[in-house]
């Protein structure tokens, strides 16, 4: 993508996510006034849909040629990655949003003909915006983040989903023992944030395309490796067993795991 178009895309996407944060943070407090579980779930669905509607509206208005992949519009799921495709996850870490009112993210990943162009993750409650891509590098707000510190498993922590750790999916327990340990955050977006800051050396979880798209762009731009647990290239048209790690940790993971 040419620099002028990319600069505009960056301005647009980061601006939208900043707006999403402003819309969501007051809503988090409103959740506390809703008493029943079913109302709570309704509210979340409403928030999810409202934010996704807002983002889709922006995308359609500013990028009419683009197609959108998101949780709420599964009916129109794209069948290929030709042209400009926006992956939208309005609230990533929904359970944290409902139960903790904390530790959730809003994410957009933009690809052109299947190639990574621009990714952005908003840590909503911290109001920290992570953004960038292969041409721009990666930033936390205005601060440029350094490339991956290529640590082996033994020198870092890995992120995972609790059910997959508990059932030893992918041999995660053994991987955890080879690493310094396992942390469970409950948000793919915030797991990517740990990697962008060099706080974890890897993350393994079964994820949907909109959970992966933005973080994959940012992590790869810093030199992290991504693949399916079986060692295949990630296909953003399908749910997959996803892994992102430092290059050294990825090699060790491949020798330890079973898909």
Point out which residues bind a second copy (CB under 8 A).
Answer: 37, 95-96, 99-103, 154-157, 162-163, 165-166, 168, 173, 176, 180-186, 194, 197, 199-200
Tell me the longest C-alpha to C-alpha distance in the chain: 50
**Could you tell me the two tokens for 29?**
């407090």
The annotation status of 91 as a binding-site residue, yes or no, is yes
CB of 172 to a second copy, least distance (A): 8
CB of 100 to a second copy, least distance (A): 4
CB of 121 to a second copy, least distance (A): 17
Q: Measured between alpha carbons, how far is 89 from 71 in angstroms, rounded to an integer?
A: 7
Nearer to a second copy, 197 or 238 (CB): 197
Nearer to a second copy, 113 or 174 (CB): 174
CB of 95 to a second copy, least distance (A): 6
Nearer to a second copy, 10 or 194 (CB): 194
Cβ atoms of 128 and 120 within 8 Å: the answer is no
Q: Measured between alpha carbons, how far is 131 from 32 in angstroms, rounded to an integer?
A: 30
The annotation status of 211 as a binding-site residue, yes or no, is yes
CB of 162 to a second copy, least distance (A): 4
Task: Scan for tokens 């040629």, then name that residue.
Answer: 65
Strands 67-70 and 84-92: parallel
Nearer to a second copy, 5 or 166 (CB): 166
Nearer to a second copy, 95 or 259 (CB): 95
Cβ atoms of 244 and 215 within 8 Å: the answer is yes
Strands 84-92 and 105-112: antiparallel
The annotation status of 150 as a binding-site residue, yes or no, is no
Q: Measured between alpha carbons, how far is 121 from 188 in angstroms, rounded to an integer?
A: 10
Shortest CA distance to 152 belongs to which of 255, 25, 28? 255
Cβ atoms of 259 and 232 within 8 Å: the answer is no
The annotation status of 31 as a binding-site residue, yes or no, is no
Binding residues for Mg(2+): 71, 89, 91-92, 211
Binding residues: 71, 89, 91-92, 211
């Amino acid at each position: 993508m040419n620099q002028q178009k990319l600069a505009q895309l960056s301005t647009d996407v980061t601006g939208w996510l900043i707006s999403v944060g402003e819309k969501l943070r007051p809503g988090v407090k409103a959740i506390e006034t809703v008493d029943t579980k079913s109302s709570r779930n309704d509210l979340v669905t409403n928030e999810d849909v409202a934010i996704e509607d807002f983002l889709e509206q922006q995308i359609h208005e500013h990028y009419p040629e683009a197609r959108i992949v998101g949780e709420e519009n599964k009916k129109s799921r794209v069948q290929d990655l030709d042209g400009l495709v926006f992956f939208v996850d309005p609230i990533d870490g929904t359970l944290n949003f409902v139960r903790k009112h904390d530790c959730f993210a809003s994410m957009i990943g933009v690809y052109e003909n299947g190639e990574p162009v621009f990714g952005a993750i908003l840590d909503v409650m911290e109001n920290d915006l992570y953004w960038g891509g292969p041409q721009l590098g990666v930033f936390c707000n205005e601060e440029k983040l350094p490339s991956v510190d290529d640590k082996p498993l033994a020198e870092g922590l890995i992120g995972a989903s609790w059910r997959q750790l508990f059932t030893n999916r992918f041999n995660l327990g053994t991987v955890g023992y080879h690493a310094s340990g396992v942390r469970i955050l409950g948000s793919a977006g915030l797991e990517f944030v740990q990697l962008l800051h060099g706080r974890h050396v890897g993350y393994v979880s079964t994820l949907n395309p909109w959970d992966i798209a933005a973080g994959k762009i940012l992590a790869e731009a810093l030199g992290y490796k991504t693949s399916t647990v079986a060692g295949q290239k990630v296909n953003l048209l399908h749910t997959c067993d996803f892994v992102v790690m430092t290059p050294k940790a990825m090699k060790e993971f491949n020798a330890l795991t079973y898909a």
